[in-house]
Structure 1
Amino acid sequence: MKKIIISLFTILALFSCKNEPQNLVKIQGKLLPVSEEITSKKEITDFIQPYKQKVESEMNTVLSFTEIDLVRTDGELESSLGNLMADLCFKRANPVFNSRTGKNIDFALFNYGGIRAGITKGDIKTENAFQLMPFENSLVVVELTADKIKELVNYLIAEQRAHPVSKQFNLKISKNGYDLNINNKPFDNSKTYYVLTSDYLQNGGDNMIFLKNPVNIENLDYKVRNAIIDFFKETDTVKVTLDGRFKTEK
């Protein structure tokens, strides 16, 4: 009888432990306002301080110098900052591309909206490079057909904005259409062109869909921001001009 009673209690215990499905009944939240009344914890502040000082020191490192304010709004279809960005990326990227492929980039193209801050007259610091390019975009080279280049030109004409293009690209809009020279030669319908841009734009960003599905693509594994920093490090004083690389003939 004792064994029967023990077995009965064991069976009842097993059934009582059966997992029942759990249902979410209610979610509660609490708003914690962040204000000056909240004091920092000394141990956390002390832990962070060395890293904070290191970052501030690196951001304040002087890399170069500019005698003028560099902005994206000082021209109609080109700008000092846009010309600088396109030209410096071309200069830094072409040796990398050439060493891998034995070929040269024809020109560089970026977007107006990708320029996130100007650079004021005076010292150029690491901080300026991060403000100019806060994104983790990388440089890529796409091989485009002549038809794709025509789409690119039509995009620039329709946009009427100072999208950064390098000095190898010379586009003049007239009443009768446009004239395009690349590397001081008239545009050739029978060849393909190697265009430097960012991975963001190559994927169709800013509606630059002509950069998608190229003949070939080469990812340079080189961030745009790093190219900017490297250029500033090797340049004592930045010189930029508005040279009419993209303009409307009056």
Structure 2
Amino acid sequence: MKNFILSFFAISLLFSCKNEPNKLVKIEGKLLPITKETESVKEIEDYIAPFKKKVESEMSSVLSYTPVDLVRTDALNESSLGNLMADLCYERANPVFKSRTGKNIDFALFNFGGIRAGITKGNIKTENAFNLMPFENTLVVAELSSEKIVELCNFLIKANTAHPLSKQVKLVATKSGYTFTINNKKIDKTKTYFVLTSDYLQNGGDNMVFFKNPIKLHKLDYKVRNAIIDYLKETDTVKVKLDGRFIMK
């Protein structure tokens, strides 16, 4: 009996000492400021040196040339850089879209805030493309109803900003109304339209909610930045002008 009792207590003690799974109680963080007094670690610098050299070489590679400064503030409702961005994205994306659908994109629209840097006169480098578009946004084509196109026009007029529009369209707004043409044709209420934009804007970014819930969405799996780089690689000298594609009277 004594041995039985001792065995019982031993077994009970074994189960009572069974490890419980660890549970996370809290996470603490600490800000470590980097100042000029912070010393580098030679081993780390030596390790990243080859990668740094490769990146710097790629960023400094020349893609194209511009005879003038390209900025987003040439005029109130359009800009040289905005026109360039919208047109080059259309030019690069339309063959992809047509090969998949047999149809053409009607026009392109992006946002003023998406242009993050200008390009100064002279050689255009890969670094310029990354500064212009530092985000990982991709190109998409939203099929919109004529009603959504009207919403798009009203948005542009109310915003009164140089949002990048491609050359296929012309918007002229006055106090009494507006005219909007796509390839020199007015909006057809019986048609749908294929509009090129970024995935960010298509999700309603920058208050462009007319892009949400399209009739159909076509994802091109093509980054905006890559389209910029591909275009510049094939363009010896960038030529762009203000052509009145959006006028407020």
| 1:35 is the counterpart of 2:46 | no
Aligned partners of 1:101, 1:212: CA distance in 2, in Å? 21
Where do residues 1-250 of structure 1 align in structure 2 (5 Å cutoff)? 3=3, 6-7=6-7, 10-11=10-11, 13-14=13-14, 17-18=17-18, 32-249=32-249
Q: Aligned letter for 2:34?
A: V
1:23-47 per-residue CA deviation (whole Å, 9 max, x = no partner) reads 9888776554422333222111111
Aligned partners of 1:120, 1:58: CA distance in 2, in Å? 19
Counterparts in 2 of 1:215 and 1:35: CA distance versus 1, 3 Å: same
CA-CA distance at 1:8 after TM superposition: 6.0
Q: Aligned letter for 2:105?
A: I
The gaps in structure 1 that reach 5 residues or longer are none
Counterparts in 2 of 1:175 and 1:37: CA distance versus 1, 3 Å: closer
Aligned partners of 1:72, 1:34: CA distance in 2, in Å? 34
Matched residue SS, 2:86: helix
CA-CA distance at 1:3 after TM superposition: 3.3
CA-CA distance at 1:174 after TM superposition: 1.8
CA-CA distance at 1:176 after TM superposition: 2.0
Matched residue SS, 1:218: strand
* Cα RMSD after superposing both structures: 2.2
CA-CA distance at 1:188 after TM superposition: 1.9
Deviates more, 1:183-192 or 1:135-144: 183-192
Aligned partners of 2:23, 2:105: CA distance in 1, in Å? 61
Aligned partners of 1:217, 1:186: CA distance in 2, in Å? 23
1:49-94 per-residue CA deviation (whole Å, 9 max, x = no partner) reads 0000000000001000111111111111000110000000000001
Q: Aligned letter for 1:84?
A: L
Question: How many residues are treated as equivalent by the alignment?
Answer: 249
Matched residue SS, 1:82: helix
Aligned partners of 1:120, 1:38: CA distance in 2, in Å? 34
Counterparts in 2 of 1:245 and 1:34: CA distance versus 1, 3 Å: same
Counterparts in 2 of 1:4 and 1:134: CA distance versus 1, 3 Å: same
Deviates more, 1:178-187 or 1:34-43: 34-43
Matched residue SS, 2:170: strand
Task: Give the % identical residues.
Answer: 70
Counterparts in 2 of 1:11 and 1:122: CA distance versus 1, 3 Å: same
Aligned partners of 2:30, 2:210: CA distance in 1, in Å? 49
TM-score by length of 1: 0.92
CA-CA distance at 1:109 after TM superposition: 0.4
Aligned partners of 1:157, 1:38: CA distance in 2, in Å? 51
CA-CA distance at 1:190 after TM superposition: 2.2
1:91-149 per-residue CA deviation (whole Å, 9 max, x = no partner) reads 00011111111110110000111111111111101011111111111111111111110
